[in-house]
Structure 1
């Protein structure tokens, strides 16, 4: 069956198409794709999902699935928005 593994860095995106056997898990697909060697620093706390839904590494893939590797956020989106709103209020906007 055919699946894709996606990993995005700030300057580039990687999309790796794979042919895998029935019963392959999300974690196995990451290993087969070689992405684990590119994101070594996060391998122990790696989060992943399939089409935007977070899944465990033991999740069995289906034909056409896209496994996405999620990097840690550099800033909390809620805190960034709160700071922006406070700055706009202080300017009188």
Structure 2
């Protein structure tokens, strides 16, 4: 199905690494889901050092609010889809490590 221009909405897809970030503006058909927008954004090409699986499986949010089902969440005009990186260190483990260092 080809969407008419009146059915198109503007959204953004954002992803960041500690050293750089990228926000990709998109014009997509109404009804496009958050996960579909991430796929359309082509982040794999912009971040070749990141496994494509990260973008396919990552938790997603809209303006800082995590989505429960990004594969079903239709976007609204102006939404910014955020791709969340997996945690490198569990927050509880990080606190335990800091506490152990402070005891020394």
TM class by smaller structure? 0.7 to 0.9
Across the aligned residues of Structure 1 and Structure 2, the Cα RMSD in angstroms comes to: 1.8
Query: Matched residue of 1:16: which SS?
Result: strand
Q: How does 1:32-47 map to 2 (within 5 A)?
A: 32-37=40-45, 38=47, 39=50, 40-47=52-59
Output one character per residue of 1:22-50: Cα deviation in whole Å (capped at 9) or x when no partner.
11111111121112554413244322111
Kindly tell me the number of residue pairs found equivalent between the two proteins.
90
1: CA distance between counterparts of 2:38 and 2:55? 10
Which portions of structure 1, spanning 4 or more consecutive aligned residues, are displaced by more than 3 angstroms?
36-39
Equivalent residue for 1:64? 78
Among 48, 56, 64, which residue is 1:52 paired with? 64
Tell whether the 8 Å contact from 2:13 to 2:41 is kept in structure 1 after alignment: yes
- Identify which range, 70-79 or 44-53, moves more after superposition: 44-53
Equivalent residue for 2:97? 83
Among 28, 32, 35, which residue is 1:27 paired with? 35
Task: Provide structure 2 residue ranges, at least 5 long, that are not aligned to the other structure.
Answer: 1-8
| TM-score (norm. length: structure 1) | 0.81
| TM-score (norm. length: structure 2) | 0.74
